[in-house]
Copies of this chain bind each other. A is one copy, B any other.
Amino acid sequence: MPAHSIFDTLSDTRKRETLAGINVMRFPPGQVLFRAGEHCQGLPLVIKGGVKVQMTGASGHSIVLYRMTADDICTLSIGCLMTGRGYRAEAVVEEDTEAVMIPRPLFDQLMEQSPDFRLGIMESYGRRLDDLMLLVEEVAFHRMDERLEEWLLARASQGQKVLSITHQELGVELGTAREVISRLLKELERKQRVRLARGKIELTGLLCQQGVA
């Protein structure tokens, strides 16, 4: 039985009733859930998997804003749903993902009837605002070399030792240019913290050790 924890607080019959009309969708990596400008059809709940949300600004550059993983709510969609405006960002699946789409009427109904559903939505919103505020601070004030190391470290702590990612993609992650990433990675290679290959970054030495801890 596919589920999202926001339904856990509903009674069993209520839950069955709610989930009756909606079906789980599966998405492969690379699939685009929504694009900038598109209109929102409902509220996506991620059951499992991973989705990155990124935007491309007026400047033509892109930056990853945040990620959704298992049990997440696509908060961004709520705003679009309410105001009727199109998405400002796009969502790209990174790992095989299962999600359900809550249509507007059901969303309204749940908001009306379930205090816990409301709480879940509000909490999710709060977290997202926090994420974005931290991102602003990060982008505005942190050095790129530190941000890059932190990013790699975060991956290392998930147990990944060899990352399959291009410098260009890393540039989008951190909101900078490919050349900047290339130079910083070369510098890290000189410091024996990574080994580089085409499309791959192997974490070694301190970067890897710390990641395990």
Closest CB in chain B relative to A113 CB, distance in Å: 9
Does A163 touch B at the CB level, under 8 Å?
Answer: no
Please indicate the chain B residues that have their CB under 8 angstroms from the CB of A138 in the complex. 57
Other than the known A125-B129, A129-B129, what 20 A-B pairs have Cβ atoms closer than 8 Å?
Answer: A55-B133, A57-B138, A57-B140, A57-B142, A59-B141, A61-B137, A61-B140, A63-B140, A76-B129, A78-B125, A78-B126, A79-B126, A81-B122, A82-B123, A85-B126, A89-B133, A111-B111, A132-B132, A139-B139, A140-B175
Please indicate the chain B residues that have their CB under 8 angstroms from the CB of A35 in the complex. none
Does A33 touch B at the CB level, under 8 Å?
Answer: no
Closest CB in chain B relative to A125 CB, distance in Å: 5
Please indicate the chain B residues that have their CB under 8 angstroms from the CB of A130 in the complex. 79, 85, 88
In the complex, the answer to whether B65 meets A133 with C-beta atoms within 8 Å is: yes
Does A17 touch B at the CB level, under 8 Å?
Answer: no
Closest CB in chain B relative to A203 CB, distance in Å: 24
Bound CA span A82–B134, Å: 19
Bound CA span A51–B179, Å: 40
Using a Cβ–Cβ cut-off of 8 Å, how many residues does chain A contribute to the interface with B? 45
In the complex, the answer to whether B133 meets A133 with C-beta atoms within 8 Å is: no
Bound CA span A21–B75, Å: 32
Does A58 touch B at the CB level, under 8 Å?
Answer: yes
In the complex, the answer to whether B79 meets A129 with C-beta atoms within 8 Å is: yes
In the complex, the answer to whether B59 meets A133 with C-beta atoms within 8 Å is: no
Whether A136 contacts B139 in the complex (CB less than 8 A), given A75-B129, A108-B115, comes out as: yes
